Structure 1
Amino acid sequence: MTCIYQKRIEFISYIQRLLENTETSSTYKFALLHALADLCIESDISKKPKLKIEVDDLVERIFSLYWQHAKPFKIDSSETNDSKEIISRESILHQSTNKEPTVIKTIRTLKGRGGDNLTVAKKLNEKKWVELFNSAKKSIREGPLWRLQLIENNIVPFLYEHKKGKSYIQLNEGVADSFRFFHDIVVKLVRQGWADKIASIKSNQASLGKSGELADFLFGSKRVSLKYASELLEKIQGGYCFYCEKKIKGDAHVDHFIPLKKYNYDLAHNFVLAHKKCNQDKSSHLALKIFKDKWVAQNLEKYKDKISSKLSSRYMCDPERSRAVADTFYEIADKSNIPLWGDQKS
């Protein structure tokens, strides 16, 4: 156990060094770290301490992270003159001080061909998606993937060894465990660094003004309409709240069972319907294990196929990924004695 704790200390120190390193012109570093942290959460490392991650999986996750960023950033601001008029302006935020990242170019192309989110865009443009994906993968493999561990002009391969030409990277022993253990901390640091980098790019500063909404725009929860999920869940749950089991009167809220602040993806099998109050009370907490068992029985067993067939055209549907993420966060909560929500349900 001492060895694990030592590795975790070395890991978080290394992550801090990476994030403090300013030798990068784009935001790829933050996207890569975020993607690695999320993929480790989804993986079973009990029998494979040196986790192997396919570059394809890594690149697709990077697309998911950048998707929101390719939308216009809108800000309302008052004129600085005598006028009190509110002026609305919007623009695409730059992610680099040099040329635009290939991923952003690809996303703009997909958006121009239709699709509100990545899941829909891929279905509408299957052939074009393969072409654009391979182009972006080549760009990431040849550059950011190997520059990520550059510190003070030296490659420090703490996370994984540099083996160019491989279709995967293999995390060094203890790294996947540390990404899982420190997931919330790493994601918080990465998002702050990412937002700071975007704000520091001169070409963005006129668009941002004094707005304090940047982080919410980049990583906030109000990004995809959950209307279609709400309609299905109302039928599945019979109009009753998933948590307090009372009839929902008025507006129903679609809750991310594994909170969005912990795992920032709209997985269809992670949705449950709840009262506004129950949803707000639960907030970013994990619910009691009795609710986890209920969620598994409802979304991953009885209605697993129905959720996939009805919602796959609009949201990511991957029940096994949903299960793995939930198992990991509950395991971490159990080992860390993190209190669970639910005793105060109304």
Structure 2
Amino acid sequence: MTEPADPLLLGQRVVAILETGLRTATYKLATLMALLEHCVENLPADPAAVLDVPIPELAHRVLGIYWQQVRPFDGHELRQSTVSTARILNATRTLQQAADSRRRGLSVDIARLRAPQDYQRAIDAITLCLAQQPLHRLQKLPGASTSDAFLYDDAFLHDKVSLATLRAHGNAVQLKPGVAHGLARLAGLLKPALEIMWVDDVRRMNKFLDAEVPDVAGHLFGRERTALAVVRGPLKEAFGPHCFYCRTHLPANNPVDHVLPWSMVGIDGLANLVLACARCNGDKSGALPAMGLVDRVLDRDVGVLEELATALQWPTQRSRVVAAARGIYLGQPAGVPTWSGYRRRERLDISFAPWWMGA
């Protein structure tokens, strides 16, 4: 019987792969981030289980990561590769132009609804690029002739692999026993480390980004996340002009908050968005919310959310919120502090797990 991966050893091996040698693009980092998100949202019930990871799903997540990053920074288009053919970035920009997303500030999920054929072409291009480059090379140490396949079997991947070959292998890689659980548990530690490496790589690839240029990290990983202002009014009409957390009456330009924080999982669907006052929004920031708050947000009228989604052409993503919440909380150590309201914290206790923990 194969022993499941040890999370600590798994994390050490991932970091070692990334820290050894010079990265020529940020694609490996993006692929690992996408893998972390996928494991959190598709956590197997058995900690020792394998997990099939569809490469097109990884492509969608990678597209979402680069979606905001391709916008100009201080008038410059940031290089994220040392080679001229930046396939993933080019596919991202092409889709944005087709969906008119750069002008309107639309998210990738809305672009998918508005330009489905262009979206599929982008996914196909990114899928092939992931298979030929980062997935093929992610587990190989510099100078090694073969991979050390500790995450997934990559024997069928190579730099000339075709879409037909990928289809023959189910368009997926299979994570080895226990790897999905290990990566989900490590997500909170690995994601900040990946972001630090990413910022360092982008500074290295763009000579104008010297140490005096601030907020590169903010540009890459969160500033101007998406144009959320368009959902503010409809949410007020549907649920009332009150803060979701403290019920105070809201002014005209109140924040729209991600209940599951953007820093943990980038879900912009209506099921993860609530109205908040500036005080609660600032105090909560990127903190893990108490499970009772997740209960409340998932208890909202699904029919109302779907009506808003249709009217706004904005995805609901409720099933994704459920899956992400389950993965996030199961990966937390017992007793970790959670945010339960303005200047209030409570210790995490999953002994009385809500319904969505077993979904």
TM bucket (normalised to shorter chain) is 0.7 to 0.9
When normalised by structure 2's length, the TM-score is 0.83
The equivalent residue for 2:177 is: 173
Shift of 1:302: 5.4
CA RMSD of aligned residues (A): 2.2
Q: Which residue, out of 148, 162, 179, partners 1:156? A: 148
Over 3 Å counting, the alpha-carbon distance change for 1:70 and 1:302 in structure 2 is: same
For residues 269 and 158 of structure 1, do their structure 2 counterparts lie closer, same or farther at Cα, with a shift above 3 Å needed? Answer: same
Count of residues in correspondence between the two structures = 322
Could you say which residue in structure 2 is the equivalent of 1:125? 115
The 3 A distance-change label for structure 1 pair 341 and 196 is same
**Amino acid of the residue matched to residue 230 of structure 1?**
R
Q: 1:35-70 deviations in whole A, cap 9, x for unaligned?
A: 000011110310471011111101111111111121
CA–CA distance in structure 2, aligned partners of residues 288 and 139 of structure 1: 39
Mean Cα deviation higher: 111-120 or 23-32? 111-120
1:99-134 CA-partner distances (Å, limit 9, x unpaired): 232111112222233223323333343333333332
Aligned to 1:30: 29
Equivalent position of 2:335 in the other structure: 337
Contact kept? 1:243, 1:345, Cα under 8 Å: no
Give the conservation status (yes or no) of the 8 Å contact 1:244–1:345: no
The runs of at least 4 consecutive aligned structure 1 residues that moved more than 4 Å come to 343-346
State the distance in 1 between where 2:9 and 2:247 align. 46
TM-score computed with the length of structure 1 as normaliser: 0.86
Q: Any residues of structure 2 matched to 1:186-335 within 5 Å, and which?
A: 186-201=190-205, 204-206=206-208, 210-249=212-251, 251-298=253-300, 301=302, 303-311=304-312, 313-314=313-314, 316-333=315-332, 335=333
Paired with 2:285 and 2:142, the residues of 1 have a C-alpha distance of 40
- Give the CA deviation at 1:246: 2.4
Identity %: 24
Give ranges in structure 1 of 5+ residues lacking alignment.
75-89
Q: Tell me the amino acid that sits aligned with residue 23 of structure 2.
A: T
Contact 2:29 2:198 in 1 (8 A): yes
CA–CA separation in structure 1 for the residues paired with 2:126 and 2:284: 39
Deviation of 1:249 (Å): 3.7
Report deviation, 1:206: 1.9
Corresponding residue for residue 94 of structure 2:
109
**CA–CA distance in structure 1, aligned partners of residues 341 and 81 of structure 2:** 47
1:295 and 1:235 mapped to 2: Cα distance?
A: 16
Corresponding letter in the other structure for 2:80:
Q
Contact 2:53 2:173 in 1 (8 A): yes
Distance in structure 2 (CA, Å) of the matches to 1:132 and 1:330: 33
Structure 1 CA distance, aligned partners of 2:19 and 2:185? 21
